[in-house]
Amino acid sequence: CTGWGFADSLAASAVGKPILLVNNRGLTPEQKAFLAESSGKFVIIGGESAVSPAIAEALAEYGDVERLSGANRYETSVAVAKRFFNAPENAILAYAQNFPDGLCGGPLAYNLNAPLLLIATGRGPGVVTYAREQGIDAGAVLGGAGLIDEATVNSVFIG
C-alpha cells in the first residue's frame, strides 16, 4: 500500500497480513531485505497512482504480484473484500475520508473474518452492491452518524 495515504491500508488491515508501506521512488534496503525473506506472493492494494508500476516491477523481482484497485477508495475496499473474504457474514464499515475511526477496525474485522469496507454518507454504491450480493446484514459501523448516516448504514445492512 502507499505510505502517503491511509484508505487502502485500512481496507487491507482486515486481512491479517503484513502491510508494506511504499513510496513511488523505490524500495528501501530494509524493504528489499524483508521481501527476500517473504512468501514470494504479493498483493498491491491501490491503483497505479497510489503504487506505481515501477514499484510493481521491483516487487516482481521477489515473486508473483497481483494488484487490487478500484475507481476510488470505496471500490478498492470492495476489491480487497472480494479477494480475501469468502462469503462473509458481517462487515465493518469505516468512514472513508479520514483514518481514526477505521484504524481500530482492522483487528476487529480480522477477528470477525469480515471485510473492512470504506463508506461515507451517500457515497460508495459499490459497497452497498457488494453487501447485498454477499447477503451481509450485520456488522459494526466505525464513525458517528455525522460521517456515516443511518440511511447509508441501512442501505448496506438492510438493503
Mean pLDDT, range 10-30, rounded to an integer: 95
How much of the chain exceeds pLDDT 70, in percent?
A: 100
Mean pLDDT, range 102-110, rounded to an integer: 94
Mean pLDDT, range 9-21, rounded to an integer: 96
Q: Quote the mean pLDDT of the chain.
A: 96
CA 134, distance to chain mean position in Å, is: 17
Is residue 143 predicted with pLDDT exceeding 90? no
**Quick one: pLDDT at residue 39?**
81
Mean pLDDT, range 32-59, rounded to an integer: 95
Confidence of residue 159 (pLDDT cuts 50, 70, 90): confident
**Quick one: pLDDT at residue 85?**
98
Is residue 20 predicted with pLDDT exceeding 80? yes
Is residue 56 predicted with pLDDT exceeding 80? yes
Are residues 102 and 131 in contact, defined by beta-carbon separation less than 8 angstroms? Answer: no
Is residue 31 predicted with pLDDT exceeding 90? yes
Confidence of residue 87 (pLDDT cuts 50, 70, 90): very high
Mean pLDDT, range 48-54, rounded to an integer: 97
List beta partners, residue 43.
66
